[in-house]
Chains A and B, each alone.
Chain A
Amino acid sequence: MIAMHKYVLTAAALAFLITSCKKDDPATPDPAPVPAVSNTTLLIEHHIDDVPLTYDTLRYTNAMGHMFSVTRLEYYLSEITLLGTNGTQDLVLPGPYYINGTAGNRFDLGTLPAGEYAGATALLGLTAAMNQTDSLPNTTENINMAWPVPMGGGYHFMKFEGHFLDNGTSNGYAMHIGRNENLPVCTMPEPFTVASGGEVVLRFNLNQVFREPNVYDLSTGNYSMGSMMLMGQLRDNCANAFDIGYRP
């Protein structure tokens, strides 16, 4: 029992000393409050390389040389993480965000910590926890993105559809991605600075979906949903399809 009291007293003294040191040590002052920037938004833009996307026009050329159009683009973005640097912390934006390419795709972020960021990462789709049948609210958008239970359940991460020319003949393509093993993890290494009210802009280059590391051949892979191989190629290509910036 005496030994036990000794231990308790020693621990209490140690705790007191540690606490005192922390309070009085001028070498470790309380961190200065991080300045905040209010009235910020998240904006998602869609491009074909450097050109803003125009729907329904067979005018773009992919890495395989196929001319293609875009008729539908729907997907989720989640776990968008702004990577802190030089005093800023990593910041995960709320989500998931349902994106329809035909909509404005501007979302209120409210107040953000000001400062420099080293870039961002994001999931083009949903986390495994969210990617379960009926886990999202039953909006008409979400139920139209459902991935049927007999095919694994959950949701489409992306629907990207249009037409392409194959030896002069117009055909349809449907780049659908789903299932956890095909979740694209997107990296955006572009540094940016949040300095005043403005927009975090994520730009999706759709031509990158067909470019690298896999030069995607629409003539043999026009329909991805039933193929883990094709969805895997799309997953890898989508990883570098976004970039990020801040527009004051």
Chain B
Amino acid sequence: MKYPALLLLILLASCTRKNMEELGPEAHLTTPFEIEPPHYFPVLDIPANNPLTEEGIELGRRLYYDPILSTNGPLAGRSCSSCHDQVTSFSVPTEGTAVLPHVNLAWSQNFLWTGKVNGGLEDVMRFEVNEFFQVDVSVLQAHAVYPGLFERAFGDATITNEAVAKALAQWFRRLVSTDSKFDRYLQHTEMLTDQELSGMMIYLSETGDCFHCHGIPLLTDNAFHNIGLDASFTGADQGRFLITGNPTDLGAFKAPTLRNIALTAPYMHDGRFATLEEVVEHYNSGVNPSPSLDPIMTKPGQITQLLLGPQQKADLVAFLETFTDDAFITDPELGSPF
């Protein structure tokens, strides 16, 4: 064999060409993007028809921050980022219905407070595109930049609702928070203070019983719970019942993740609590019994109180604050591209 390197090159070239032919005429080059969460996170379920690529994520990011998404729709002039600010973990303080943060939704199967949308990120993004924003794709199509960005991401400059949803889904999959102080504690790279450790013991035991609905590492069980905010329910406070019609779901709402919880006040679906101290006090002494109260809220002896002392409550709040991920809220790659 006189020219093995040359032969190898020819073989490689023919293979590449063959693969490109197999992909068809619409084949285009994209750059795969890998998300590598810590080992204690669940494996990410990424649909085969919407793999993560740098081009797709960048397109989704731009759409997220661009009010063009709402042009000619009921929310004209607003972008996703209007209500989801990075510095508050992609949430924003509001009056009325509280804004759920956009963090680690890649592991979610139920979306919005009542679970109005189930499935994966592509499913909830279809809802956002078609029903919430009512995106007018003709506006995007006429834009000077977007057709080219869609072509780079998906190999087709023709913009469809489905392509917009896919790009947004990729961007939401990118919004991963795994670098809180508590994560570093789990990875043995940082210690918690004595007070935080005390709070962790309360959180992870029957004393506080937080872990059943806010287990590690997602800090949500993705399920719905009536945590006793009210004794009777009308209007939006009926929660999950509005979706299922099941009386057991009265007053039940999705357990939100506690990642960056110190940044996402006010709390509960209606923002009734301004501070984490108020939240802890609710669980400690303010739970209202009702026939649909989540069974897990009834403690031994059929009481609905935790009976924590002032120091224990302070310790628990200190532990909750270790869920703050400063890198996530300051990462320039997650900020506005404009």
Complex interface: stretch among B2-10, B173-181, B211-219: B211-219
B80 adjacent to chain A (CB < 8 Å): no
CA distance A171 to B247 in the complex (A): 15
A150 touches which of B201, B294, B298 (Cβ 8 Å): B201
B302 touches which of A55, A138, A166 (Cβ 8 Å): A166
Say whether B298 contacts A174, CB under 8 Å.
yes
A72 adjacent to chain B (CB < 8 Å): yes
Interface residues of A in 137-187 (CB under 8 A from B): 137-140, 143-144, 146, 148-151, 161-163, 166, 170-174
A222 touches which of B107, B293, B294, B302 (Cβ 8 Å): B302
Say whether B291 contacts A170, CB under 8 Å.
yes
Which residue of the partner chain A has the closest CB to B109?
Answer: A140
Give every chain A residue within 8 A of B248 (Cβ-Cβ): 55-56, 69, 71
Give chain B's interface secondary structure class: loop
Say whether A172 contacts B40, CB under 8 Å.
no
Say whether B299 contacts A138, CB under 8 Å.
no
- Closest chain B CB from A56 CB (angstroms): 4
Say whether A143 contacts B296, CB under 8 Å.
no
Say whether A138 contacts B293, CB under 8 Å.
no
A-contact 0/1 string along B188-209, CB 8 Å cutoff: 0000000000001100111000
- Closest chain A CB from B227 CB (angstroms): 12
Say whether A162 contacts B206, CB under 8 Å.
no
Say whether B205 contacts A150, CB under 8 Å.
yes
Say whether B216 contacts A143, CB under 8 Å.
yes
The number of A-B residue pairs with CB atoms under 8 Å apart is 77
* Contact A171 B205, CB 8 Å, known A144-B215, A161-B296: no
- Closest chain A CB from B295 CB (angstroms): 3
B297 adjacent to chain A (CB < 8 Å): yes
* Contact A138 B298, CB 8 Å, known A56-B248, A172-B293: no
Give every chain A residue within 8 A of B297 (Cβ-Cβ): 172
Please name 19 further chain A to chain B contacts, defined as beta carbons within 8 Å, in addition to the given A134-B40, A144-B215, A161-B296, sorted by A numbering.
Answer: A138-B40, A138-B42, A140-B107, A140-B218, A140-B222, A146-B216, A150-B200, A150-B201, A150-B204, A166-B302, A171-B298, A172-B295, A172-B297, A173-B295, A174-B295, A219-B302, A225-B206, A226-B300, A227-B300
